[in-house]
Amino acid sequence: MLATRVFSLVGKRALSTSVCLRAHAHGSVVKSDDFALPSYVDRRDYPLPDVAHVKHLSASQKALKEKEKQPWSNLSLDEKVELYRIKFNESFAEMKRGTNEWKTVVGGALFFMGFTALIIIWEKHYVYGPIPHTFDEDWVAKQTKRMLDMKVSPVQGFSAKWDYDKNEWKK
């Protein structure tokens, strides 16, 4: 199914009508297709394909096409549907139907993100050296005190959140 979608995205050609025939095989015989000939496609942006879906009509279908030449009020509902299915493979509603593909995509993406996390954990343990001494708790404390003494970002940023009177972070 996925393959059909990919091929119909590539160009205005379906790969072959046999790929498109799923539950709607109406007795049409599929020979080896000449890809230079006009072909049928189920495309939302190409609503009236170059050829009908069913190329080789059975006897009953041929009779129906003859009846189509008479006033259409003579046709029963089932005959009208049969004529539609001769001409078209999937209706717009059918070709537009959603799939569950997104679940596969999201699941696959998350899975590989998780796998990447494992790689990074391994890397931290086996590849990276020690982090700089400037990350020691003692150093960071002295660094923070100096930033507050300098009044870094006193309006809306860092020092704005420090209470200079009570010597603590503002609540």
Partner 1 sequence: MASSALAKPQMRGLLARRLRIHIVGAVIVALGAATLYKFGVAEPRKKAYADFYRNYDSMKDFEEMRKAGIFQSAK
Q: Is 151 in the site for partner 1 (CB under 8 A)?
A: yes
In the complex, minimum distance from the CB of residue 28 to partner 1, in angstroms, rounded to a whole number: 24
169 three-state secondary structure: strand
5-13, 31-39, 107-115, 153-161 -> range binding partner 1 (CB under 8 A) = 153-161
The span from the first CA to the last CA of the chain, in angstroms, equals: 59
Tell which residue, 32, 35, 34, 30, has the closest CA to residue 55: 30
The site map against partner 1 for 80-119 (x = CB under 8 A) is -x--------------------------------------
**Under the criterion CB under 8 A, does residue 79 sit at the interface with partner 1?**
no
DSSP string, 45-77: TB-S-SS-S--S--HHHHHHHHHTTS-GGGS-H
Site residues (vs partner 1, CB under 8 A)? 77, 81, 146, 149-151, 154-156, 160, 164
